[in-house]
Structure 1
């Protein structure tokens, strides 16, 4: 058979070739999509099935060698050309082109096979490879962030709650929170990979195979951890991609919050960060402006990840639990966009973080003009003078408000002011101006927090070291998974060559 000049060579049920609109709007775009993204995986699957055909005694060694040689000769451009010219289906096209390169027909080749599990397996393999790429990018971003965090352990800046300056923190303290998100995302994606690395191949159309396929061996040839245990789930379930898109949408949501902070910190009102000119933008009408559109672009792309995830959920909702092109192909068309957007976002963010500069003087000035030691003063009034804590909070608040009314800076606050407020509540305390003012010393505020996970430089260094260790462990685990895949492909090729 020529690569299928019409549908008559493929089925007795349908007599006519596809309508030109159907081909132009659906079949040909699907072919281009699969040729671009899945062809290499289809050919890997063909080789695994080839070895299994030989094991089952369906084909002999000579036929195996000839078919494998024909597989190796397939070129993506030619496959796409043949598909669009003739079959409008990738699986049929591959089968036809291989058959055209054989010296004689191989009767039992392709017996007891279905496109359903074939396509589901290729889709899984594609997603799996892109998970590896994302893991590498997350690691690179984490390392750049770690390097930046190490530089600013003792640099002070305001921390905010409810959009108001609240306590003294450091850029490193903030960045280690960002690192937590990166580590958690990589860890959760690894969990998704390990739990979902099941091979659909051998599920057949939906009910399994009639021959005794060794599904464990097929899974091993393709680098999977195990075969999907239920045939219907093998072709119907797309839960794995929902879990991946779900984790990426959670990451995108968290990331958008950090990006909002960075965007605000880059404004004139804050002036906490700066970027070099090559990562900055200008205004067409306001020459004084230096914009940071890279942050807007990255944050904008986080919305795409969330919308892709929601689209995939909606696309599957209320569909029958079976193999459907609505689920496997219509919903599946967003898979490349999911990974491309994530990879682009991470690349941009890594560039941003590697060029980010914190403006120490401006951040210190912002700390020094705010009464960020109010929490410390309230604690001290309780611990030193025995004032009940809630009353101490009120006293500290009133004393700060009085100082603000008098136009005093935090380091100019007077002991007499605090004594007077204490007296209103029936407490007499012996304190000095220096004692009061020490609680508003910016550097001391950074040091006063001493619990694990706090702003104290030593605690921050511990978090940096822990993040570095976690990063190394994650990199090793992801590397082991990728090596197992590479070993599987090499083993399969060695079997076919031996």
Structure 2
């Protein structure tokens, strides 16, 4: 079957080996099932339009279902290493007689754009499922410990008392937020390009609404040019994934610091650790380094896709449709790797609660509580209360040789007098500021580290997790039902094909 009347020679070996064959292998491995679904949806429309007979539709449907990656790959050279042409040739070979009108009024442009979208949509559902698994793991681990005091840091300095449950609920919050954003992205991009043709539409009265529904999309892309020119859907997905990676990198940075010998607050089991070949005393965590390093790639992928599309004409372009999205599958694989690895870390993380409490008691995390008490009980203006608390901490650090957790009522009374606000019974103001458990209990606002507040937050996260899980399940079911319905619509024709 001759494929072109315009060119007399096959593609040069450089073009074939460098561009066409790698693209062909990728599409056979990742897009073939979506190409087949699209072609089967189009068959129903050919029949409705009166272009094909029932028997012809049956022959074509059977032939499409019989296509294999091996067969297509074997015939790639004769099909110019193009999957659409290879499918056309493979189907034609399997027909009992030619069907001249098949593929009339059709273009590869909207076909390929749609197959790429369906592939990306599938990847998003898989990544969303992994995000929800991470949220589930973090939520479960968070609920196990909402009372053990651990040091919280701002600007890398001791700040306030938190708990493992409070911190891990932040991990769950991030995962839930990304899953929610991806759900919005999924719904925004889930529109089919079919019917756009090369760029200006098609000449038969295709039912674009039905075609979109037949492949599990909400509807058609309204504008024919936008349908084949735009790959905004890939940028939207990449933006969500890049943003997710930024957050995960920050959590990993905390764990890398906290698992170091300088902090010693957390550790991972030996099977998730590494060694030093020269320093036998060390227990390294290259897994954390690997995962944080891979989050950098997630940011780079968005830049790569955006740069590949930037300054190109707004029409169908190989530069946009193929080259600009060359690393999309790598992005999806990398995102899955980060999520799988981080979920493993969260699930196996071991908190050194004795060490965490010791750090909380040795350092002075109660300055905020002390200033609050000075204002609320003694009527000291808030900013002045901050000055008194700061002077008190300085005095304690000097007196206690750096042991900021030392309680010294006399030092507090002196600092208050110096500021012009003498306080009675200064020891009572220090009860909470040096009691790490009291500092936790004192946090009562919604979303705070107080144990009761964390439990309320976890209950709310449980509800959101359940809702998001159901929403994503519904999206996947919609696609499965569309595929089933498309096959059912063709079943009478398939039955008559014999």
Fold-level match, TM-score > 0.5?
yes
Per-residue CA deviations over 1:129-174 (Å, capped at 9, x if unaligned) read 1111111111111111111001110011011111101011111111
Aligned partners of 1:411 and 1:441 also within 8 Å: no
1:177 aligns with 2:167: no
Alignment of 1:350-429 (within 5 A): 350-407=343-400, 409-429=403-423
1:468 aligns with 2:462: yes
Aligned partners of 1:412 and 1:437 also within 8 Å: no
SS of 1:240 mapped into structure 2: helix
Query: Partners of 1:65 and 1:384 in 2: how far apart?
Result: 85
User: What is the TM-score when the length of structure 1 is the normalising length?
Assistant: 0.97
Partner residue in 1 for 2:490: 496
Match of 2:196 among 200, 203, 219: 203
Partner residue in 2 for 1:309: 302
Per-residue CA deviations over 1:200-236 (Å, capped at 9, x if unaligned) read 0110000000000001111111110100000001100
Per-residue CA deviations over 1:90-124 (Å, capped at 9, x if unaligned) read 11110011011111111111100000000000000
Partner residue in 2 for 1:4: none
Q: CA deviation at 1:433?
A: 2.9
Q: CA deviation at 1:264?
A: 0.4
SS of 2:161 mapped into structure 1: strand
Per-residue CA deviations over 1:232-284 (Å, capped at 9, x if unaligned) read 01100100110000011011111111110011010011111111111111111
1:444 aligns with 2:438: yes
Query: Partners of 1:401 and 1:149 in 2: how far apart?
Result: 35
Match of 2:287 among 290, 294, 301: 294
Q: CA deviation at 1:10?
A: 1.9
Partner residue in 1 for 2:51: 58
Query: Partners of 1:352 and 1:70 in 2: how far apart?
Result: 47
Query: Partners of 1:267 and 1:84 in 2: how far apart?
Result: 56
Q: CA deviation at 1:86?
A: 4.2
Query: Partners of 1:262 and 1:469 in 2: how far apart?
Result: 27
Query: Partners of 1:178 and 1:372 in 2: how far apart?
Result: 23
Partner residue in 1 for 2:328: 335
Match of 1:43 among 28, 36, 50: 36
Partner residue in 1 for 2:233: 240
Q: CA deviation at 1:426?
A: 2.1
Query: Partners of 1:436 and 1:20 in 2: how far apart?
Result: 80
More divergent stretch after superposition (389-398 vs 109-118): 389-398
Query: Partners of 1:389 and 1:101 in 2: how far apart?
Result: 84
Structure 1 portions without partners, runs of 5+: 2-8
Aligned partners of 1:411 and 1:437 also within 8 Å: no
Query: Partners of 1:328 and 1:269 in 2: how far apart?
Result: 50
Q: Count how many residue pairs are aligned between Structure 1 and Structure 2.
A: 491
Per-residue CA deviations over 1:278-321 (Å, capped at 9, x if unaligned) read 11111111111111111111111101111011000111110111
Query: Partners of 1:412 and 1:330 in 2: how far apart?
Result: 64
Query: Partners of 1:272 and 1:127 in 2: how far apart?
Result: 40
Query: Partners of 1:412 and 1:181 in 2: how far apart?
Result: 37
1:229 aligns with 2:217: no
Match of 2:477 among 454, 473, 483: 483
SS of 2:91 mapped into structure 1: helix
User: What is the TM-score when the length of structure 2 is the normalising length?
Assistant: 0.97
Q: Over aligned residue pairs, what C-alpha RMSD do you find?
A: 1.1
SS of 1:167 mapped into structure 2: strand
Partner residue in 2 for 1:456: 450
Aligned partners of 2:369 and 2:432 also within 8 Å: no
Per-residue CA deviations over 1:443-478 (Å, capped at 9, x if unaligned) read 001111111111111100011111111000000000
Partner residue in 2 for 1:163: 156
Structure 1 residue ranges, 4+ long, deviating more than 6 angstroms after superposition: none
Query: Partners of 1:146 and 1:84 in 2: how far apart?
Result: 52
Query: Partners of 2:421 and 2:60 in 1: how far apart?
Result: 94
Q: CA deviation at 1:85?
A: 4.6
SS of 1:438 mapped into structure 2: coil
Aligned partners of 1:367 and 1:442 also within 8 Å: yes
Query: Partners of 1:108 and 1:131 in 2: how far apart?
Result: 36
Partner residue in 2 for 1:121: 114
Partner residue in 2 for 1:31: 24
Q: CA deviation at 1:425?
A: 2.1
Query: Partners of 1:436 and 1:92 in 2: how far apart?
Result: 79
More divergent stretch after superposition (245-254 vs 24-33): 24-33
Query: Partners of 1:411 and 1:290 in 2: how far apart?
Result: 30
Query: Partners of 1:435 and 1:239 in 2: how far apart?
Result: 58
Aligned partners of 2:134 and 2:339 also within 8 Å: yes
Larger RCO: 1 or 2 (CA < 8 Å, sep 6+)? 2
Query: Partners of 1:85 and 1:64 in 2: how far apart?
Result: 25
Structure 2 portions without partners, runs of 5+: 493-498
Query: Partners of 1:431 and 1:202 in 2: how far apart?
Result: 81
Partner residue in 2 for 1:319: 312
Per-residue CA deviations over 1:343-393 (Å, capped at 9, x if unaligned) read 111111111111111110000011011110011111111111111111111
Aligned partners of 2:305 and 2:324 also within 8 Å: yes
